[in-house]
A and B are shown apart, each in its own frame.
Chain A
Amino acid sequence: MTRLPALTGALCTVLILAGCTSVAPDGLRSDVARHTQGRLPAGTELPSPATAAGPQADAPAGTATAALDPASPHPAHHAAQVDAWLAQPVDADTAVRIAVLNNPGLQAQLAQLAAQDAARAQSLTLINPSLTLGRFTNAHERELEREIGLGIVDLITLPWRARWQGWQMERATLETAQAVLRLAADARRAWLNAVAAQQTLQAHARLHDAAVAGGELARRMAAVGNFSQLQQARELRVQQDAAAQLARARLAAALAREDLTRTLGLWGPQAMALRLPAQLPPLPRAEDLRPGDAAEATALRERLDVRALRRDLDTTADRLGVARVGALFGDMGLSHSRNTSTERDSGHREQTRGWELTLPLPLFDWGGSASAAARAELDRSAARLRDTALRARSEARSHWLRYRTAWDLAHQQHAEVLPTAQFMQDEAVLRYNGMFISTWDLLAQARSTTLAVAQATDAVRDFWLAEVDLQLALTGTSPDGAASAPRDVALTTSTPTREGH
């Protein structure tokens, strides 16, 4: 047993390394939180793992609803927190907080991250040594074979593998953090769309009321003989148009709200309890806008997708160095055997002890293909990093441009278009006072003023949407192309239709 110290030393190393392989108790959530820190509104917290929820005693037992309740597998304090947030009209930041805490899709992703972490830990655990026992007899002797074997390539490559797996987990964590940021952006977009749609709906309700009043006045005009039925029908058309637009605006508002509650992971009474502010946040002042000059540098420094790919590149570069070794010594094994043979007749016992090292002969595979694959992998990784960096720079520029233009447009709506519309309405009232135009002309002008208000709302919404995208493009990840396009549902319903006159 004099060789034991060496073996003991090796085993100690293995054990130390194996210590690194323990599963993170919070499923890496704190690592995700570290990446999203400063990129989310203050007070945003990731949901605790479902397993920490404890007994689900508070959920009504035995009902299908309880099983379907998305909130039930979570600690009671989550639900209480969401309820507390829902007690007030929900602003954009709170919407993000609710979504991050409450969105089941994100919870699934976090759970997957935890599962990946567990898998990583498992993969770093050494394969158990094998013990081979054999008993062979012939006419003369009885032979007992005891062999303890250990695949040592696992052991040799353990430090590398631990490092790669660590990097891989960091990459997965970064990707999950990006998912968190994307969800936050989705929540902001859904919130902006819902508030804007609600505001547009109010404008359309006012329009409809006025059109109904005009239609009713026209009906009374016809009733006393002052309007022909054709004239009345023209005003009726205005009313019908307004009703159709109101229906569309109502649908758009309902869909936008539905989108928001879905993103926030709300349902049932919580979805009912969700209240929104009456108006979008006001436009920031020009001097408070983000400057565009540092956009590219910020994106390259801050973006998590760029970081993740840089980590990829590190991993593949590291892996290239050992690829050949791995290929050559893939089946390397170490075993220690102690064989006892006993002469049946004499009872003479003979023992054989020895080490056995199994080495593959690199006769056919000299590891060339493996290293070529690793090199290609490295190239791919580098190219992907370059590609993403390129995209990050371009997105930083283009989203800043969209952000700035959206501000200019919204500012123009508020500083120029709305005052002009208001002035036109005031002048129309003056013309009505002087009996230059009729009540219906006045109502038509009022409708166009209200539409201008609705369009100004859309412009403010588009600015904030652009702001969400820019924020994501600068510090998070690539904004989803489809989602970042301005949603024109409300806008298409607010096409001015001035009938007659």
Chain B
Amino acid sequence: MEAVLWYTLAGTRGGPNRIRILQALDNRPRNPNQLADHLDLNYDTIRHHLDVLADNDVIESSGDDYGAVYLPSETARANWDTVETIITQLDS
């Protein structure tokens, strides 16, 4: 999981934005629209990043319906020290 976190968050073109999304979701679960507002990013961009993060089991959605909120997955929680390390390095 550590390698997946590093690659999806720090090794790819969309990594820095995905860190911001994960940080916002750690703050509180949100749906794609709320994330787009909060991070001032395009809805489709948010959707794409959410799909990549969910595909890699970094986040999970609360349901399939429209407006379902996303939150960090159990696996991401179990490796949260790695996530923190990456987040801290983005801020500095």
Asked if A pairs with B, the answer is: no
- Chain A residues within CB distance 8 Å of chain B: none
